[in-house]
Structure 1
Amino acid sequence: MTFYTESYFMHQQQFNSLVNYAVILVLILLVLINSFRYFRHQLQTRYRDLGIIFFLLLLIFAGLQVTNLEKTYSQQSQSLQMRPFIRAVAKDHGINPNKVVVNSTTLTDGIIVRFDKKDYRVNLSPSGDNYTLTRAHVVDHRVIIQK
């Protein structure tokens, strides 16, 4: 079972976006270099072909980045609810927020909260403004904590 800490919600999904931006920047540079070479040596069509290939790759990665940004925005809007929830649980039970872990990245009814080596099931109200914790026992005690 995978649990997530408060710091996970602060730093998630940033690395994938950085890699995509780096690939897009490299492809833009390759398109510009090949365009310069093509205009300089117009009789050699390989530069034109390479430029077209790099431009198509650039379009593919730009489309992937747009899709990734939409997905990331949706996940971040849902995970923004988790940080106040973790802090509220920590405050209510008088513990450090770093000691509270949850098994979901979105605040929904039925998630598991773990602190003080005990597991609790979260029961949310329909409006989502209050919760109750009931003691729960998990079947799989192997835990992976994502920080």
Structure 2
Amino acid sequence: MTFYTDHYLATHQQLNTMINYVIIMILLLLLLGTLFYYLRHRLQTKYRDLGIIIFLLILIFGGLQMTNMEQSQAQYSQSTRLRPFIRAVARDHHLATHQIVVNSTTLTDGIIVRFNKKDYRVNFSPNGDNYTLTRTHVVDHHVNIQN
């Protein structure tokens, strides 16, 4: 079972988006380089073909980025709602936020919160403005904590 810290939620949620942006920027630089070589050596068509391949790769990664944008925006919205929940649990139980871990990156009913080596199931009210922690026990005690 994987649990996530507040630090992980703050820093690692947009990692896939950043990787896609870096790949697109590298491909754009490669496209500019091949365009330069093509304009310099017009008779050699290998630079034109390489430029077309790189342009198609840019279109593919750009399309992937556009399709993932809505999903990542929704996930980011959920994770930004999860961090105030972690701070509220820490304040209510007189703990630091780094002592609390959750088993989900989205704020949903039924997530498991772990602190003081005990697990609690979270039940939210219908409008989501309050919560109840119920002591629970997990079947798999092997825990992987993502910092």
Provide TM-score, normalisation by structure 1. 0.91
CA drift of 1:7 comes to: 0.7
The runs of 5 or more residues in structure 2 that have no matched partner are none
How many percent of aligned residue pairs carry the same amino acid? 65
**AA of the residue aligned to 1:17:** T
How many angstroms apart in 2 are the aligned matches of 1:97 and 1:13?
18
Partner of residue 75, structure 2: 75
Partner of residue 136, structure 1: 136
CA drift of 1:45 comes to: 1.5
How many angstroms apart in 2 are the aligned matches of 1:14 and 1:106?
14
Q: Please list, as runs of the form range in 1=range in 2, the aligned pairs for 1:34-49 lying within 5 A after superposition.
A: 34-49=34-49
How many angstroms apart in 1 are the aligned matches of 2:107 and 2:29?
42
**AA of the residue aligned to 2:104:** S
How many angstroms apart in 2 are the aligned matches of 1:72 and 1:135?
32
Alpha carbon RMSD of aligned pairs, Å? 1.5
Partner of residue 17, structure 1: 17
C-alpha distance after superposition, 1:25-77 (max 9, x if no partner): 22112212222222222222212111111111111122222333332211110
The runs of 5 or more residues in structure 1 that have no matched partner are none
Q: Give the SS at the match of 2:65.
A: helix
Provide TM-score, normalisation by structure 2. 0.91
How many residues are treated as equivalent by the alignment? 147
